[in-house]
Structure 1
Amino acid sequence: MGHLVTLATCSLNQWAMDFEGNLERILESIRIAKEKGAKLRVGPELEVTGYGCQDHFLEGDTYLHSWEVLAEILKSEEAKDMILDIGMPVMHKSVKYNCRVIIAEGKIVLIRPKIFLANDGNYRELRFFTPWTTRKVEQYYLPRMISKITGQTLVPIGDCVISTLDTCVGCETCEELFTPASPHIAMGLDGVEIFTNSSGSHHELRKLNTRIDLIKAATQKVGGIYLYANQQGCDGDRLYYDGCAMIVMNGDIIAQGSQFSLRDVEVITATVDLEDVRSYRARMVSRGMQAENTPAYQRQEVKMALTHSYIEDDIHIRPTKLRAPFYHTSEEEIALGPACWLWDYLRRSKTAGYFLPLSGGIDSCATATIVASMCRLVVKEAAEGNRHVLEDARRLAGDQNYTPTDPREFAGRIFYTCYMGTSNSSNETRQRAKDLAGVIGSYHTDLDMDTVVKSIHTLFTFVTGKSPKYKVHGGSTTENLALQNIQARLRMLLAYLFAQLLPWCRNVSGNLLVLGSANVDESLRGYLTKYDCSSADINPIGAISKRDLKRFIAYAEKKFEMPILGDFLDAVPTAELEPITKDYVQSDEVDMGMSYDDLSHYGRLRKVSRCGPYSMFSKLVHEWGDDMPPTEVATKVKRFFFYYSINRHKLTTLTPAYHAEAYSTDDNRFDLRPFLYNASWKWQFNKIDKQAQELERLTREKELNSQVD
């Protein structure tokens, strides 16, 4: 009948420093795994503390409370008759490590520190932890509170594997899967059949396939069963950890969890046959030759079996069938990821809802549609009996008997929108904003702020004796920009005023979180006013490109049955901060001097491909060479870097945004660059100009030679 084993991995919505809540979710995941017949349960990276504690990992309290939580797990009924792989920070010899703690039979079997730390992009693990040395094993003195429970004083800490009566288990942690010399290779050659990987991996658009491909390739190459666990949800920062726990065997997916979910605990299990691993490995003679020459890992023995007994192992226990991997489209990712992130922020901040300045443009439209998607998810989870979602929805509604059944009705309780018009606003944008609010169900207000704007004009004129004019009325560029910025910054002031007092007007307690809606391309170009209504509490689209937002709106128009969204797709993007005349209507792309598509391209080259001005020109002159001469490409590149440089200071004050794109402009963590530049880039631009002129000279010579021939 083979050697059947049921294994469990999970996605947990952990919250940084929420030790009590994190413990509850860990215990619940163990209970569910046990109910499903699993003997091994794997949890996410640093699940005891939450992954995103940041500098709290430098505090001794964090380590003390982690051991206190582990003590509760050891004492629990849930921990009996299972092997548990728990993630927490551990201090050894006054050095801090990111560890897996392996528990079996009520005792700690092994503390396995992370060997390769993530230290790029959003990750700064080397700031908090030290990498462990490969194959090193030492003894760790347990805290007395743990010794009283387990009767142990010393346990091994290091790069070991776990040997049970019937198989062998080895641990990887997140980044170790992504490195060229991943530990699973040597472990697999040394006979490890089950690999665990505990991760704190965040969502980016179109990123999941990379993770799945790596896991499939790992087991396809070395053979074995791979249990991937991940955090899910907002940990209190810009990132959304996107779950998708999975079980893979010999290169094939056996089980895959959800990528976006409002559930706090999701456990997936699979029953697999260890003989399939052994047979898979035996087919390759060269693997045996490499295994013979692989240094052996130190094994920590656990005197229990993971496989089902022969009595149980009958026709009723069957291996889980293979399945194809599931991927969301990028439009679905935008609809789901930021929506789940917004729900976590709303419920954990204990505020009354969200407030959004709704301009009638596509960016605020996309933000509002994401909130609508959040409301749809809440209604769906409530209908499926999600106790946590129902409790939070009732708190927001102020009614302990309330059950959300209609997304529009629920939006009317927690979502507030406002159109802040001036004499420069058009009837079209005002109507689009009103119609969209009606379709979503938000509590909508409409105002004209001309009297407030005029009072600022009057005050300035009274103090200085000068009266600035718009450009279309004969004013200078300086006057024109200043008059636009007055409107933009007043909208931020009014947004916070209304966010604080609108619930009070409806006899609702609490205030609202203000949503921003500047996209990543505008931020990259600096096409926003510092401290205007792009300054908010959080921004769900701040790392999403204009191109992706348009595709999302086209998707939502049909998926959410919101025909009004088509009107936003057809509208020309405009800030509406200048007077509309017979001959002039303000346009974003004209103002910026570049298209949104070009901006997206510049952003990926600058951040993802790590291009400076010259290398960006070198790439684009080949890519765009058939459509424009090198000197025009040079002009475009120089224009981008000039405006990026003079506006870089704005990015230091950007609203915290959902991280969704590899060229996010988040200055506080992801995109660490100076904010005071010599915007002339004299050396770099001179080299670009010389190269462009030389390329055009060579092109002319080639054309002349071809004519002579």
Structure 2
Amino acid sequence: MKHGFIRVAAATPDVKVADPQFNRTEICALIRAGIERKAKLMVFPELSLTAYTCGDLFGQDALLSGARRELKEILKETEGSDLLAFIGMPWERGGKLYNSAVAVQNGRILGVVPKTNLPNYAEFYERRYFEPGNEVPVMVSWEGQRFPMGTNILFACEEMPGFIVAAEICEDAWVPCPPSIRHTAAGATVIVNCSASDETTGKDIYRRSLITGHSASLVCGYVYANAGDGESTQDLVFGGQNLITENGTCLAESKRFANDTIFADLDLERLNNERRRLSTYPVRDDSAYFTVGFHITEEEYDLERPIDPMPFVPTDEGQRNRRCEEILSIQAMGLKKRLSHTGCIHAVLGISGGLDSTLALLVTVRAFDMLKIPRNQIHAVTMPCFGTTDRTYQNACLMTKKLGAELTEIDIKEAVTIHFRDIGHDSGNHDVTYENAQARERTQILMDLANRLNGMVVGTGDMSELALGWATYNGDHMSMYGVNASVPKTLVRHLVRYYADTCGEEELKTVLLDVLDTPVSPELLPPKEGEIAQKTEDLVGPYELHDFFLYQILRYGYRPAKVYRLAKAAFGGEYDGETILKWLKVFYRRFFSQQFKRSCLPDGPKVGSVAVSPRGDLRMPSDASSRLWLEELEGLS
């Protein structure tokens, strides 16, 4: 529960139709298992205490009294536990029967939520047995307890203000205006659904899409428990497809046609931060709701949720390829518009044989093809200097040739040496002046060449470098349009690989793959025995870590200790805690101190949910202090 995580479960018990005693024993066994797994919320299917498919037996007093009797046993089972469980059962009030979810915890009933929308079409006949539920809660008494009954009930945790639960039942989620809409507008962060949705061909896909979509549009966690094996198969089959989703992401899903319990840790901080960020999310109004408080005990545990170490890169190959094609199109469309608006029919970019300039060239080629401008009006300029190696030089030249662009070579050693003389710098001193003079000389050449050609300088720097400030101010930091400005380094690799795999030219593919295999380097220091001497990730840290930090910090606003915890979970088999902490501190120090470079970025297209443009996603003071963030990391291990 630390850092806003809460463990939840969706359970499908084995049931026997119209046998509450058997069903209770199965439910209690799953409750015990949930308590052992440290779950704080567990959801059971619709009418699971009796089974959903009882038909006209719902009119029998024996069944109804048997269900109430077994509910008492369930209450006994929960005594001494802080697990909040929602049990599906028929509930009688005022001479009418209601299809209900009964919320129980620590031996008490906290509330009864009746189903609002009763299907009476196709295979469903619920209006034959049940009444639609009342929205406005009323107080009811049973076995010496008093509790609210109605759909507008919020179950609010006293220890975690962001943990607020509301319930709907099966069909409620399938109607045009589900109760969960008003529940979340009233403050609910977690929706539970006790369901009995039968199986027909393709229905599982629609069901998953529906529940995942609800969690996305409502910015909530959604715990969906479905009836399964054991229900009557007289006319229907129930597959027990349980789902736990969070803000559009499916965290856990059970196998169909096998009764199972799934667990996942919802991130309530993520949900609350997202609602706070979205200016269109409604202001909380719980005036029409009855709030029931409940208590939980904080416990430590390893996280039980998928944590993607590469949040910018889809793990599924098909989805990754679609994403790559989409991003390349966004980048190219952005450049296309800028070229056509300015009337430029020439583009100039520095080509180093590294990843970023390679991607920029590939995007520029695509934009020129869209505009039907000959590729030879793309001027790829290679500018060898003190740190250039034969490998990157040859790759730059061959790649440019294979893509049909115009290659220009301008050796800048003499110009930089004269510059050192002019400013009184010892060329044997390989300090920041030595490095940045080369970067600025290259940018000057590109800008002046673009002026001469009436063209545009296309920027090559990526978002990871901008986040760390790993760019020379007014050097590679500057361009006339930065096509890679919102593409992180981990994604740059996949974009280049995707192009290599789909270009259809074997020689071009070979050189692109070699670029991918080349260590990331600005090549500003002299090579050692012909090999790159300056490897970026040795100096500022692994880009896969920095991209992970960047995503968690900017996308979700997580505090440093939580970013560290997530990183340890994501990279546990690859980096130890000490290494992760070291580079996280570096990230925060550089991210804050280098904001001035991001405050004056050239234009460039946003391609994902995270960007650092001062005109778009990141309006951050250039002189903000990092003290709070770094202090939180002290003492962590």
What is the TM-score when the length of structure 2 is the normalising length? Answer: 0.48
State which structure, 1 or 2, has the greater radius of gyration over its C-alpha atoms.
2
What is the TM-score when the length of structure 1 is the normalising length? Answer: 0.43
